Amino acid sequence: MLKQIEFACAGILLVAIVVLVGVASIARAVGSPIIWSIEMAQLVFVWLCMLAADIGMQENRHFGLQILQDNISPKARDLVELFNIVVIIGFLAFLLYYAWGNMILMHPRLVGATQIHASYIHASMVVGLILLMRTMVFKLIERIRSRGQF
C-alpha cells in the first residue's frame, strides 16, 4: 500500500511539473512571466526524483553489475547480495546524517522570488534517504526470510 501511495505522489508531482511549466510557458508567451515558476518546478522536481529513486529501488530497476554474481555459486551469490544490501543501508545512513545537517543549515536561507525556506528543498534528500533505507531494510529482511539464512 505504501508503494501505491508513493507512486500516486510521484504521479501528482509529475503532473504538477508539467502543468507548472505549461502555464509558465503560456504566461511568458503572452508577456507576463511567472517569476516563481522555475523555483517551484525545481522544488517539485527534486521531490519527484527522490520518490522515483525509491520506487526504482523497490522494483530493482537501479543499475547493477552482475559479472561477479554470475560467476559464483548460488550460496556465495546470496551472501554477496546480503553484504551489498548491508553496505547500501550503511551508506544511506551516512548520507542521511549529512543530509539532515544540510537541511538544518539551509533553513534560514530563502529561495529567490518564492521566499520559501531552502530547507523545504533539502528535506527531499532526508525523506528520500529514509524511504530508500526503509526499502533496503525490507529487502534485507525479505532476502533473509526467503533464503532461510540466519
Give the domain range for residue 122. 1-149
pLDDT at 136 over 90: yes
pLDDT of residue 148: 66
Q: What is the pLDDT of residues 66-123, one digit of tens each?
A: 777 778 888 888 888 899 999 999 999 999 999 999 999 999 999 888 889 999 999 9
SS3 content of the chain, % helix, strand, coil (to 5): 75, 5, 20
Q: What is the pLDDT of residues 41-81, one digit of tens each?
A: 889 999 999 999 999 999 988 777 677 777 888 888 888 88
pLDDT of residue 93: 98
pLDDT at 33 over 70: yes
Domain tally, the chain: 1
Set of cell numbers at residue 102: 544540510
Q: Are the CB atoms for 117 and 110 separated by under 8 Å?
A: yes
pLDDT of residue 61: 84
Give this prediction's pTM.
0.87
- Averaged pLDDT for residues 16-44: 91
